[in-house]
A and B are shown apart, each in its own frame.
Chain A
Amino acid sequence: MSTRIFGSGIKRREDPRLITGEARYTDDIKLPGVLHMAVVRSPYAHANIVSIDSSAAEAMDGVVAVYTGDDLEGLAGLPTAWLIPDSDLKTPEHPALAKGKARYVGDGVAIVLAGDRYQAQDAADAVVVEYEELPAVIDPEEAAQEGAPLIHDDVEGNIAFKWAPFDKEASDAVFEAADVVVSERILQQRLLPTAMEPRSAMAQYNPATAELTLWCTSQNPHIHRFIISAVTGLNENKVRVIAPEVGGGFGSKIPCYPDEALVSWAAMQLGVPVKWTETRSENYLITIHGRDHVQHVDMAASSDGKILGVRATVYAGMGGYLSTAAPGIPTILHGLLYVGPYTIDSVYCESIGVMTNGTPTDAYRGAGRPEATFLLERMIDNVAKKIGMDPAEVRRKNLIPAFEDGYDVAAGLTYDSGDYPVAFEKALGMAGYGEFRRQQKSAAAQGRYLGIGVTAYTEMCGLGPSQVAGAVGFQGGLWESATVRVTPTGKVQALIGASPHGQGSETTLAQIIADELGFAVDDIEVIHGDTTETPMGWGTYGSRTTPVTGAALAKASQKLKEKAKTLAAHLMEASEDDIEYADGSFSVKGSPDQTQSIQDVALMAHLAWNMPEGMDPGFEESQFYDPPNFVFPFGTHIAIVEVDSETGEIELQRYIAVDDCGPQINPEIVAGQIHGGVVQGIAQALCEGVIYDENGQLLTGTMMDYCMPKADMFPNFELGETVTPSPHHPVGVKGVGETGTIASTPTVYNAVLDALAPLGVEQIDMPLTSAKVWQAIQDANGGGS
């Protein structure tokens, strides 16, 4: 093909509506007669609900109904949809409104339905709930100890699951025989996903047809349809879920929450539409949090820097209930990544899912993989320090050599393709690693503290083969489907089951189709987010939409091209073998004047006046695509920082990211994904972190206290790339939505600790706020100031 739109950094087609404010989000949709729902939420992290008096609220202007947990007849509890096998998993009941007991601050206790949002809030404030406060526990390791407050009667010891799939004896033997063992207790602090658009849900029920329509902020409307059908008892074909414009998710819009079930149930009860939109304060209180691990990690190595094994015991905080996919995050998406890009032959992970009185946790950008990459990279720096070898050299020594089609690792995965050393050396070259080490020494002589952090990573994404999903207890498939439909005038509607929400997929996916079929990108609309309009799909998360949906679209387009070729040959009365194709046009070998454009063919397929024998009319193809394996993007990131020893402030001076996601469909969008991911990951290292007090009250409940990253914290990122196609993907691409978040946290953390090494500081819990860094410097100097 002479011209390719694949590989071109065209502007995102979704941006004009997004940046001019013309995009239509759930809360923008107005229905006549809608009632507004406000939720009365527990102010206690753990409390028995003694009584609820809603009489005053019910008497207030505009109030139509007040319901408590006991009123929700016919509404089942929220299911957990990732049931990890061989883990003794307990799934405590998660009613849409707490019954008898509230288990975290923000747990819903009652709902108020009123004519406007103010009336609803006023009435919610007037519901009188008497609580009996119980002792609360937030730290997952503490919650797993004997004597901790019991959160669910049917989850003994608060332990929801224990997952330890690897051979412990073999691991122990490696550690016993090793020259060097390093250990660290690592805290992966809780993080708030903070999508720009808070969550929102509106339901409308038609009693005559028994059909429910739910508009909601979802990354996976087909999964929401399935769950809403299950909790309301409506047939799945009577539930339509629409995710209109969705303003980011980062994983937080995967789960089905009580709020979506409640508006659906209330709309069915009352026969009028019901809407709920969370405030930012509610978003921070009740929308899932990410991470929350206490990890006890060991790494074994030889004295010359060969890494022999890694093992960890992980206490993963689940919060008050098990959210939709929560058990899968600190297990399947975590422990299977313990090899990273290295030749580590022994891994062991015991992951303990612990109920706490925190907000439920679930997938947050990277989901399990950042927590794995961090511990590997942190421990490698610890090994390097212990044996007196440069940390980059330790990594170089252990990288898996290049491979093109399959590499089995000790954690049980088969990586698809990789050339880690090339990306690694490229990043070191961009950073001027050797020169930096010299600068660092001369700066130290002047009392300045510079540091460098290097992370080599790979990760599994493009989730994933459905057979694997089944084997690991995911209660769904992980394939995608797509339909490429060409109208009679030659315009394309691409219908997909996935549900992009800011990633630029309407552009990227159109580029795939344009390249396969020769349509202009502007003639292709990518349609998503409506379970009635679009074919089935499992959603947008796990960096899977480009790899999986993209593959389905590429294959559907290829099928359409085959049909077009046959029809073009028929129309030009030529043999199909003599048909040549270029840039959306078919011609006959040797007679270049005779052509049929793809648009001509589409029209003739619709008219069906002159079809070849046996060919059906119409011009559309559908494709289900179940990937044969995950995809494994990889790369190396490097950070250079300076620490102000007077204040503990950290200046991030340079950030270098070399990433390999296979061939880049749109380099601008790839760069955007890396920028955003890197920023979120660095923020975990430097400033973001949920803080609860000892009673389980959220102290970082607003952006005044919870530190979202800001543009002026960052230098211009220096991006590089290598290109290693995935051998099993139709167009070779790998996911890139999460790589930045996965790689950047340990990169910056290790850079800061490298800078602090001359001061004797060895460990600081994230985030590395100036106060903590300063205190660590004082403590290392012999305490006090």
Chain B
Amino acid sequence: MWPNKFDYVRAGSVDEALASAAGGGKFLAGGHSLLPAMKLRLDSPEQLIDIGRIPELQGISANGGLTIGAGTTHDAIASSADVQAMCSALASACGQVGDQGVRNFGTLGGNIAHADPASDPPTVLVACGATINIQGADGKRSVGAEDFFIDLFETALDDGELITSVSLPNCSDCQCAYVKFPHPASRYAIVGVAVCLKMDGDTCAQADVAVGGATVKAVKCADAEAALAGTTLDEAALNAAAEAVKADIAEDLIGDIAYPESYRQQMAGVFLKRAIAAAQG
């Protein structure tokens, strides 16, 4: 509970933040992942660059698709009518992060930069084909969510780069859902499943599926998607998809002593079915 000594600067703009980052250190947004790690002395950055009050990182704009400022809190996303309309799975996932106190401070950008494998929003971002918009000393670039998350706590961000926003396609004509099986201690996901279904009548024209919590990163599940696409989502299709999703995540499984990999893998199948039911509900 007693962090090592560190310097602190508050940035007023993205340019200021990037300039400060040239001297090393870490960006501080909501602080709800970074500060606990520092208090336990698991992380000891020499400098914190506070980006929590940069206006250009704030807010949600809906213009064909969604653009969410990296500094937007989970609570703001969960309660946004635009997000609920265009990607209800993301609103749901952000509404399940931590508790209300965490959601009032924690930000989407901070969450995905931290890349905790058991976190909720990344799973939806991968399923729904989000784009992560990044700015660094060398300029701006954008990375698809699937490529952004690389491994446990590892992303495509280079040193000194800052996430500025996250873009999502308008998914209002899809049926989408995020369903989570929370760890009873931490309430992080033992497994979290996001689905986004494009329906053509009774037939599923396209299915996007991602799994997190059980895996080192949010994983897009091509075999499960293939098992669902072109079906009426009947029981046989659901069972096939539940089996397929276990194969999709087999290479990326993680577990802990209480909830081992094998259990989480099985639960991914169960919760895929529950996510589809929720999306259709």
Q: List 23 A-B contacts (CB under 8 A).
A: A118-B2, A118-B5, A122-B4, A122-B5, A125-B41, A279-B2, A646-B270, A647-B181, A647-B270, A687-B184, A693-B257, A699-B257, A703-B186, A705-B185, A705-B186, A705-B258, A706-B185, A710-B184, A770-B259, A771-B259, A774-B263, A774-B266, A775-B263
Q: Which of B1, B41, B186, B259 contacts A704 (CB 8 A)?
A: B186
Q: Confirm or deny: A164 has a beta carbon within 8 angstroms of a beta carbon on chain B.
A: no
From 82 to 122 in chain B, residues with beta carbon under 8 angstroms from any chain A beta carbon are none
Q: Confirm or deny: B260 has a beta carbon within 8 angstroms of a beta carbon on chain A.
A: yes
**How far is the CB of A597 from the nearest CB of chain B, in Å?**
51
Find the B residue at minimum CB distance from A701.
B40
Q: Hey, which chain B residues are within 8 Å of A118, CB to CB?
A: 2, 5
* CA A125 to CA B5, docked complex, whole Å: 13
Which of B41, B257, B258 has the most chain A CB atoms inside 10 A of its CB? B258
Q: Confirm or deny: A594 has a beta carbon within 8 angstroms of a beta carbon on chain B.
A: no
Is there contact, CB below 8 Å, between A771 and B2? no
**How far is the CB of B5 from the nearest CB of chain A, in Å?**
7
* CA A782 to CA B258, docked complex, whole Å: 22
Q: Hey, which chain B residues are within 8 Å of A771, CB to CB?
A: 258-260, 263
* CA A304 to CA B270, docked complex, whole Å: 44
Q: A691-B257, A769-B258 are in contact. Are A703 and B263 (CB under 8 A)?
A: no
Q: Hey, which chain B residues are within 8 Å of A691, CB to CB?
A: 257-258
* CA A118 to CA B262, docked complex, whole Å: 43
Q: Hey, which chain A residues are within 8 Å of B260, CB to CB?
A: 771
Find the B residue at minimum CB distance from A709.
B184
Q: Hey, which chain B residues are within 8 Å of A122, CB to CB?
A: 4-5
Q: A687-B185, A704-B185, A706-B185 are in contact. Are A647 and B267 (CB under 8 A)?
A: yes
* CA A67 to CA B259, docked complex, whole Å: 42
* CA A713 to CA B262, docked complex, whole Å: 25
Is there contact, CB below 8 Å, between B186 and A121? no
Q: Confirm or deny: B256 has a beta carbon within 8 angstroms of a beta carbon on chain A.
A: yes
Find the B residue at minimum CB distance from A282.
B1
Additional A-B contact list (18), CB under 8 Å, known A704-B186, A771-B263: A118-B5, A279-B1, A279-B2, A280-B1, A281-B1, A687-B184, A687-B185, A691-B257, A691-B258, A693-B257, A705-B258, A706-B185, A707-B184, A707-B185, A710-B184, A713-B184, A769-B184, A771-B259
**How far is the CB of B144 from the nearest CB of chain A, in Å?**
30
Q: Hey, which chain B residues are within 8 Å of A178, CB to CB?
A: none
Question: Chain B contact residues: over half helix, strand or loop, or mixed?
Answer: loop
* CA A708 to CA B257, docked complex, whole Å: 17
**How far is the CB of B266 from the nearest CB of chain A, in Å?**
6
Residues 237-275 of chain B: 1 if any A CB is under 8 Å from the residue's CB, otherwise 0? 000000000000000000011111011001100100000
**How far is the CB of A782 from the nearest CB of chain B, in Å?**
16
Q: Hey, which chain B residues are within 8 Å of A117, CB to CB?
A: 2
Q: A118-B5, A122-B4, A281-B40 are in contact. Are A703 and B258 (CB under 8 A)?
A: no
Which of B2, B256, B260 has the most chain A CB atoms inside 10 A of its CB? B2
Q: Confirm or deny: A446 has a beta carbon within 8 angstroms of a beta carbon on chain B.
A: no
* CA A358 to CA B263, docked complex, whole Å: 28
**How far is the CB of A453 from the nearest CB of chain B, in Å?**
20
Q: Hey, which chain B residues are within 8 Å of A713, CB to CB?
A: 184
Q: Hey, which chain B residues are within 8 Å of A279, CB to CB?
A: 1-2
Question: Chain A contact residues: over half helix, strand or loop, or mixed?
Answer: loop
Q: Hey, which chain A residues are within 8 Å of B1, CB to CB?
A: 279-281
Q: Confirm or deny: A785 has a beta carbon within 8 angstroms of a beta carbon on chain B.
A: yes
* CA A280 to CA B258, docked complex, whole Å: 21
Residues 99-143 of chain A: 1 if any B CB is under 8 Å from the residue's CB, otherwise 0? 000000000000000000110011001000000000000000000
From 48 to 84 in chain B, residues with beta carbon under 8 angstroms from any chain A beta carbon are none
Find the B residue at minimum CB distance from A691.
B257
**How far is the CB of B43 from the nearest CB of chain A, in Å?**
14
Q: Hey, which chain B residues are within 8 Å of A687, CB to CB?
A: 184-185
Residues of A within 8 A of B (CB): 117-118, 121-122, 125, 279-281, 646-647, 687, 691, 693, 699, 702-708, 710, 713, 769-771, 774-775, 785
Q: Hey, which chain A residues are within 8 Å of B4, CB to CB?
A: 122
* CA A704 to CA B185, docked complex, whole Å: 5
Residues 170-200 of chain B: 1 if any A CB is under 8 Å from the residue's CB, otherwise 0? 0000000000010011101000000000000
Q: A122-B4, A705-B185, A785-B266 are in contact. Are A769 and B259 (CB under 8 A)?
A: yes
Find the A residue at minimum CB distance from B260.
A771
Is there contact, CB below 8 Å, between B2 and A121? yes
Find the B residue at minimum CB distance from A121.
B2
* CA A647 to CA B258, docked complex, whole Å: 14
* CA A785 to CA B265, docked complex, whole Å: 11
**How far is the CB of B57 from the nearest CB of chain A, in Å?**
28
* CA A704 to CA B260, docked complex, whole Å: 16
From 182 to 229 in chain B, residues with beta carbon under 8 angstroms from any chain A beta carbon are 184-186, 188
* CA A710 to CA B183, docked complex, whole Å: 12
**How far is the CB of B157 from the nearest CB of chain A, in Å?**
24
Top 9 closest A-B pairs, CB basis?
A: A707-B185, A121-B2, A704-B186, A279-B1, A771-B263, A707-B184, A771-B259, A646-B270, A687-B184
**How far is the CB of B183 from the nearest CB of chain A, in Å?**
8
Q: Hey, which chain B residues are within 8 Å of A646, CB to CB?
A: 270
* CA A774 to CA B181, docked complex, whole Å: 14
* CA A79 to CA B248, docked complex, whole Å: 58
* CA A287 to CA B181, docked complex, whole Å: 32
Which of A647, A702, A770, A771 has the most chain B CB atoms inside 10 A of its CB? A771
Which of A691, A707, A708, A713 has the most chain B CB atoms inside 10 A of its CB? A707
Find the A residue at minimum CB distance from B270.
A646
* CA A693 to CA B258, docked complex, whole Å: 12
* CA A378 to CA B185, docked complex, whole Å: 26
**How far is the CB of B260 from the nearest CB of chain A, in Å?**
7
Q: Hey, which chain B residues are within 8 Å of A707, CB to CB?
A: 184-185
**How far is the CB of B102 from the nearest CB of chain A, in Å?**
13
* CA A384 to CA B106, docked complex, whole Å: 53
**How far is the CB of A61 from the nearest CB of chain B, in Å?**
10
**How far is the CB of B140 from the nearest CB of chain A, in Å?**
36
* CA A646 to CA B269, docked complex, whole Å: 10
Find the B residue at minimum CB distance from A649.
B181
* CA A704 to CA B256, docked complex, whole Å: 12
From 5 to 58 in chain B, residues with beta carbon under 8 angstroms from any chain A beta carbon are 5, 40-41
Which of B40, B263, B270 has the most chain A CB atoms inside 10 A of its CB? B263
Q: Hey, which chain A residues are within 8 Å of B263, CB to CB?
A: 771, 774-775
Q: Hey, which chain A residues are within 8 Å of B188, CB to CB?
A: 704
* CA A693 to CA B256, docked complex, whole Å: 12
**How far is the CB of A114 from the nearest CB of chain B, in Å?**
11
Is there contact, CB below 8 Å, between A705 and B256? yes
* CA A646 to CA B259, docked complex, whole Å: 15
* CA A18 to CA B186, docked complex, whole Å: 26
* CA A502 to CA B218, docked complex, whole Å: 44
* CA A178 to CA B145, docked complex, whole Å: 68
* CA A699 to CA B258, docked complex, whole Å: 10
Find the B residue at minimum CB distance from A281.
B40
**How far is the CB of B30 from the nearest CB of chain A, in Å?**
18
* CA A523 to CA B233, docked complex, whole Å: 71
**How far is the CB of B90 from the nearest CB of chain A, in Å?**
23
Which of B1, B41, B188, B259 has the most chain A CB atoms inside 10 A of its CB? B1
From 129 to 188 in chain B, residues with beta carbon under 8 angstroms from any chain A beta carbon are 181, 184-186, 188
Q: Hey, which chain A residues are within 8 Å of B266, CB to CB?
A: 774, 785
* CA A687 to CA B267, docked complex, whole Å: 18
Q: Hey, which chain B residues are within 8 Å of A706, CB to CB?
A: 185
Q: Hey, which chain B residues are within 8 Å of A281, CB to CB?
A: 1, 40
* CA A770 to CA B256, docked complex, whole Å: 13
Find the B residue at minimum CB distance from A775.
B263
**How far is the CB of B153 from the nearest CB of chain A, in Å?**
15
* CA A122 to CA B4, docked complex, whole Å: 7
* CA A691 to CA B260, docked complex, whole Å: 14
* CA A702 to CA B186, docked complex, whole Å: 9
Find the B residue at minimum CB distance from A125.
B41
Q: Hey, which chain A residues are within 8 Å of B256, CB to CB?
A: 705
**How far is the CB of B180 from the nearest CB of chain A, in Å?**
12
Find the B residue at minimum CB distance from A778.
B266
Find the B residue at minimum CB distance from A683.
B184
